[in-house]
Amino acid sequence: MAAPKRLGLATVAFSSPPVIISAAALAGPKEGQGPLASYMDKIIPDTYYGEKTWERAERKMLEEALQLALTKAGLSPESIDFLLAGDLLNQLISANFTASKLNIPFLGLYGACSTMYEALALGSMLIDGGFAEFVLIGVSSHYCTAERQFRYPLEHGNQRTMTAQWTVTGAAACILAKQGQGPRVTHATIGTVIDLQQSDPADMGSAMAPAAAETILRHLLDTGRQLNYYDLIATGDLGRYGHQLVTQLLTEAGHQPADRYRDCGMLIFSPTQDVHAGGSGCACSAVVTCGYIYQQLQSGKLKNFLGLGTGALLSTTSTQQGEHIPAIAHGVAITAG
Amino acid sequence: MAAPKRLGLATVAFSSPPVIISAAALAGPKEGQGPLASYMDKIIPDTYYGEKTWERAERKMLEEALQLALTKAGLSPESIDFLLAGDLLNQLISANFTASKLNIPFLGLYGACSTMYEALALGSMLIDGGFAEFVLIGVSSHYCTAERQFRYPLEHGNQRTMTAQWTVTGAAACILAKQGQGPRVTHATIGTVIDLQQSDPADMGSAMAPAAAETILRHLLDTGRQLNYYDLIATGDLGRYGHQLVTQLLTEAGHQPADRYRDCGMLIFSPTQDVHAGGSGCACSAVVTCGYIYQQLQSGKLKNFLGLGTGALLSTTSTQQGEHIPAIAHGVAITAG
């Protein structure tokens, strides 16, 4: 009799934890000046990356990240059972156009900046459920495509508030496998959408923080673990203000997060880089996870990791229509292989 | 030893085929004048449905469809393990805002108009994989929100080409369960993204047809079945021109589709309704499947059904930048319970 795969209200436990057999991360020039630059496989030289549009540059990064993950694992696209991918652009054009070059059965996902973690959770279920041997995962974002779509033309040079975050230019990919060497995905906690009526699109960290805290607490309740079971808990892109809020919410719930809890949006840039509250975007948690954290897990410096993909589920239309910003966070527990 | 869950390159076969224990479909006023009106649970009286924006009206329909599927199954939201949902609006605001009211672990999907079938495929894998007992699925689209976002302000009154399609106003939902009474999902064939360099956004049926034909042929190859195994094969929203093209492609491949092959975009409207090539949108295949087809499967008039969700993966940005229209189709085989 296999162990139950469902724990509590929102967590699944994998009976044969899928292995992350390879990971790849590409980052933009600004990220290449940040503290995690040495963990990236490639830093692109400028935001156009030889393409005529920023959208094409973003796709090129995603395509390269996916190819690099395949190359590192010694696999061809034909070996992959499913490709799970997404991005921030309307109708997922980065993921969809990239997928058109790969001929792999494709499932498009949208969880805003939580998409890498949504994909890790779903991909692990597809493998542990017996439907796939290899699942390829990838996400991307680009400062210039995101600003064009969500905010102002860059040429406008508008003043940003101190709570605003900087969309990470980057792409990351990894391969989940039924067997092999590498860190293993042991649990996934799927978030619910939380709307605490925050409606300032220039402070998404605060909008996402309650969802992140909720998923962390739900994960601990479902698994029966304490926060200090994990060497590191990292949220995706809450930035400075969201990180403060999650720290407060966890402390109020009786935990002592302290240095054990970090945010990828604070790790990717240094405070001197003028990014205000920190990094954001699909690529933020993705390049930190597939670059820095993956290498820490592989080297054994990190043993038990809980990552939270965090997503602010607004659109320009919803904001123009005066709606709040609902948010979500998906948690994935990864243990060193 | 359980039967293999993976057949060929792109198909999964469920060892315990999940049951669709309930389904619900709401449609707009124009759809309510169409040939399938009697199969809908509710026809809304006007496009605003008592809300101040069309976007809110779309959400209200989606919320009602999800609630109705729960009510029909005698389940509360707390019984549901996962909610899988999506829509056409940027950043999936219909699905995300609706999910914020339900407190169910939520996974956002984007497959353009193929989203209902992507959700049926993934939801079935989550159940057959042992991760869920009940999965709630829902999608929506709205003519007025889609026109506002993708095309012209309705007030502009622009002339539409004869290859253009009419986005279905509607929402549909269903519940997949590990056990129970109802039609069963036996197989899912996940599509690859196909780009045959069609770039006319007013002829999406032709752009999607090759992807639909490819997934049908792949499904037959993977399962070893003949086309005539199925009483009905229905594509999601190819409309008149796409339907012609798929018929031609299947015929060239040695099959005789004839009346066995239909398109939901042609079923939902009558030719006298001035919708040009037919219906489209997330809700097109969804309301036809959760309304008409579900009832045909339940009454035994239909025994073996193969449905194809079809999606054109363009955005306004990709079109403005001169890109082609990549497309995808996911196939799901459903057999009467």
Mean pLDDT for the stretch of residues A271-279: 94
Contacts of B131 in chain A (CB under 8 A): 5-6, 12, 125, 129
Pairing of strands A134-141, A170-177: antiparallel
| pLDDT in the model for residue B220 | 98
Question: How far away is chain A from the Cα of B151, in angstroms, using its nearest Cα?
Answer: 14
Mean pLDDT for the stretch of residues A207-234: 97
Look at B110 and A104 and tell me if their CB atoms are within 8 Å.
no
| pLDDT in the model for residue A1 | 44
Query: What SS3 class is residue B197?
Result: coil
Question: How far away is chain B from the Cα of A103, in angstroms, using its nearest Cα?
Answer: 5
Mean pLDDT for the stretch of residues A62-78: 98
A2: pLDDT strictly greater than 80: no
**End-to-end CA gap in chain B:** 25
Q: What one-character DSSP code corresponds to residue A169?
A: P
Question: A129-160: per-residue pLDDT in tens?
Answer: 999 999 999 999 999 999 999 988 888 888 88
Is residue A191 a contact partner of residue A210, using CB atoms and an 8 Å limit? no
B1: pLDDT strictly greater than 50: no
Look at B125 and A112 and tell me if their CB atoms are within 8 Å.
no
The fraction of chain B above a pLDDT of 70, given in percent, is 99
Mean pLDDT for the stretch of residues B15-39: 98
The fraction of chain A above a pLDDT of 90, given in percent, is 93
Select the residue of A190, A323, A326 nearest B82 (Cβ to Cβ): A190
Question: How far away is chain A from the Cα of B323, in angstroms, using its nearest Cα?
Answer: 9
| pLDDT in the model for residue B255 | 96
Pairing of strands B106-108, B134-141: unpaired
Amino acid at A24: A
Q: Report the distance separating Cα B95 and Cα B284, nearest Å.
A: 16
Look at B110 and A86 and tell me if their CB atoms are within 8 Å.
yes
Question: B91-113: per-residue pLDDT in tens?
Answer: 999 999 999 999 999 999 999 99
Q: Which two tokens stand for residue B262?
A: 């239909």
Look at A125 and B129 and tell me if their CB atoms are within 8 Å.
yes
User: Of A247, A245, A254, which Cα lies nearest the Cα of A221?
Assistant: A254
Select the residue of B92, B100, B193 nearest A194 (Cβ to Cβ): B100
Question: B46-65: per-residue pLDDT in tens?
Answer: 999 999 999 999 999 999 99
Mean pLDDT for the stretch of residues A263-292: 97
Question: How far away is chain A from the Cα of B317, in angstroms, using its nearest Cα?
Answer: 8
Select the residue of A53, A100, A126 nearest B195 (Cβ to Cβ): A100
Q: Choose from A9, A60, A115, A125 for mutation: most chain B CBs within 10 A.
A: A125
Question: A3-54: per-residue pLDDT in tens?
Answer: 679 999 999 999 999 999 999 999 999 999 999 999 999 999 999 999 999 9
Neighbours of B267 (CB within 10 A): 20
In the block, which residue shows the tokens 């709570």? A163
**B2 falls in which pLDDT band (50, 70, 90)?**
low
Contacts of B5 in chain A (CB under 8 A): 129-131
| pLDDT in the model for residue A323 | 94
Mean pLDDT for the stretch of residues B223-238: 97
Find the residue in A nearest to B10 (Cα).
A105
Select the residue of B55, B105, B118 nearest A191 (Cβ to Cβ): B105
**B18 falls in which pLDDT band (50, 70, 90)?**
very high
Find the residue in A nearest to B59 (Cα).
A318
Contacts of A112 in chain B (CB under 8 A): 91
Selected residue with higher pLDDT from B137 and B196:
B137
Q: In the beta sheet, which residues pair with residue A235?
A: A263, A308
Q: Which two tokens stand for residue B249?
A: 């492609």
Amino acid at A147: E
Q: What one-character DSSP code corresponds to residue B166?
A: E
Q: In the beta sheet, which residues pair with residue A135?
A: A82, A176
User: Of B34, B198, B174, which Cα lies nearest the Cα of B115?
Assistant: B174
User: Of B12, B280, B176, B264, which Cα lies nearest the Cα of A105?
Assistant: B12
Is residue B123 a contact partner of residue B139, using CB atoms and an 8 Å limit? no
Q: Considering Cα of A212, then B131, then B106, then A117, what sign does the dihedral take? A: positive
Residue A118 Cα distances to A138, B137, B211, B307, angstroms: 11, 17, 26, 26
Torsion angle in degrees (nearest 10) through CA of A175, A180, A183, A186:
90
Look at A5 and B90 and tell me if their CB atoms are within 8 Å.
no
Torsion angle in degrees (nearest 10) through CA of A331, A335, B4, B9:
70
Q: Which two tokens stand for residue B252?
A: 């060239």
Is residue B311 a contact partner of residue B204, using CB atoms and an 8 Å limit? no
Contacts of A104 in chain B (CB under 8 A): 192
Q: Choose from B313, B319, B320, B323 for mutation: most chain A CBs within 10 A.
A: B313
| pLDDT in the model for residue B155 | 87
Residues 6+ apart with CB under 8 A from B277: B162, B163, B164, B165, B203, B205, B239, B240, B241, B242, B265
Mean pLDDT for the stretch of residues A247-255: 97
Q: Which two tokens stand for residue B165?
A: 């399609």
Look at B93 and A313 and tell me if their CB atoms are within 8 Å.
yes
Amino acid at B47: T
Look at B89 and A122 and tell me if their CB atoms are within 8 Å.
no
| pLDDT in the model for residue A77 | 98
**B179 falls in which pLDDT band (50, 70, 90)?**
very high
| pLDDT in the model for residue A27 | 98
Round the average pLDDT of chain A to a whole number and report it: 96
| A-B contacts (CB, under 8 Å) | 187
Torsion angle in degrees (nearest 10) through CA of A53, A58, A64, A69:
-170
B140: pLDDT strictly greater than 80: yes
Mean pLDDT for the stretch of residues B5-12: 94
Look at B122 and A118 and tell me if their CB atoms are within 8 Å.
no
The fraction of chain A above a pLDDT of 70, given in percent, is 99
Query: What SS3 class is residue A170?
Result: strand
| pLDDT in the model for residue A156 | 86
**B180 falls in which pLDDT band (50, 70, 90)?**
very high
| pLDDT in the model for residue A158 | 85
Q: In the beta sheet, which residues pair with residue B172?
A: B25, B139
ipTM for the whole predicted complex goes beyond 0.90: yes
Residues 6+ apart with CB under 8 A from A37: A27, A31, A43
Neighbours of B231 (CB within 10 A): 15
Look at B318 and A93 and tell me if their CB atoms are within 8 Å.
yes
| pLDDT in the model for residue B319 | 93
**B158 falls in which pLDDT band (50, 70, 90)?**
confident
Residues 6+ apart with CB under 8 A from B156: none
Look at B12 and A131 and tell me if their CB atoms are within 8 Å.
yes
Q: Which two tokens stand for residue A103?
A: 């001929």
Neighbours of A224 (CB within 10 A): 9
